[in-house]
Amino acid sequence: MLSFLLEFTRHLDRVYTVIVVDEQATDPPRQYHLRPRTLWLGLGGVALGAAVLMVCLIVFTPVRELIPGYGTSEIRRDARLNALRLAALQDSLDMQRQYMVQLQQLVMGELDSEMWAGTEAPEGEAVVTGELAGLAAEPSGDWQDHQQPALPLTRLPSAKAAVMPASDAPRRFLPSLRLPALPPVSGYFTRGFDARTGHFAVDIAAEEGTVVRSIGDGYVIFADWTHEGGYVIAVHHADGYVSVYKHNQRLLKRIGDRVRDREAIAVSGNTGEVTTGPHLHFELWRDGLAQDPQTYFIGP
């Protein structure tokens, strides 16, 4: 067979006559005229078409998944999805580290609060003037500095002198807390503020599942599980205030969320190692100083 095909390679432009005879000679012989160049061009075209068809089958059909080592579309999709998840997880970890550092700086009074200086409250909100403007305590590690609130309500001027509307104030910053405020959860107080023993908070006994509300507008700067406090959420308010809510059953907000005054942020519970029963452990800090929350509540 090879020698027969080689006959057509000697003279590509010469016309050959091929006679086909049956071995038993039962059928009359048949003859064909062909030019080798045309024959080889036809065979090359057939081979090229077959190669193109094979490539199309591999590229555009599921046949490619039968090739060992090629990988299925699900594997590639999962690989891309895992890469995106890994990048998102890295971003989330970086953001959590940043918020943890900011929370620590806020509680310790190390965060620069000049961004609030010289700004007015949004239109319709109250702004503090006169005597209140100078009542800003310096951060300190001495428990005696936390014994009295940095802004006790007994020193508040009259409402007429303390507040005034701001008509053309920018809305870029949070409005000031409206003090005194309602407690964050419905219940009764079981333990008060005691800086000497390190209890920089008040405990409010509440049935599990009771809605916990933010005491004012702010941004969530911490929302996670802690060993002692269980599910904890912290909200950063204007004027250097940070409110902390511990022992929740579950959290309704995440880090970075904007919350409004009296908006639900958690559900009370009994989580964490340091707890004696269902209650809310509520802390209020201002410029690194722990405040007695009961002083800021309406009729606790």
Q: Are 207 and 247 in contact (CB under 8 A)?
A: no
Question: How much of the chain, in percent, has pLDDT values that exceed 70?
Answer: 69
The reply to whether 82 falls in a domain is: no
Q: What is the dihedral of CA 160, 161, 167, 169, to 10 degrees?
A: -140
The reply to whether 174 falls in a domain is: yes
What H or E segment, with its residue span, contains residue 40? helix 36-60
Q: Note the maximum CA span of the chain.
A: 128
The reply to whether 69 falls in a domain is: no
What is the predicted pLDDT for the residue at 1?
65
> Cα–Cα distance between 121 and 144 in angstroms, integer?
32
Confidence band, pLDDT 50/70/90 cuts, at residue 70: low
291 strand-pairing partners: 284
> Cα–Cα distance between 207 and 123 in angstroms, integer?
38
* Number of structural domains found in the chain: 2
DSSP secondary structure code for residue 212 in this structure? E
The reply to whether 75 falls in a domain is: no
Are 254 and 131 part of one and the same domain?
yes
Are 128 and 237 part of one and the same domain?
yes
Domain of 6, in residue numbers: 2-60
The reply to whether 140 falls in a domain is: yes
Are 128 and 30 part of one and the same domain?
no
> Cα–Cα distance between 256 and 239 in angstroms, integer?
18
The tens digit of pLDDT for each residue in 189-236 reads 999 999 888 899 999 999 999 999 999 999 999 999 998 899 999 999
Percentage helix, strand, coil for the chain under 3-state DSSP, each rounded to 5 = 35, 25, 40
What is the reported pTM? Answer: 0.49
Are 50 and 124 part of one and the same domain?
no
Domain boundary among 60, 82, 105: 60
The tens digit of pLDDT for each residue in 246-292 reads 999 999 999 999 999 999 999 999 999 888 899 999 999 998 889 99
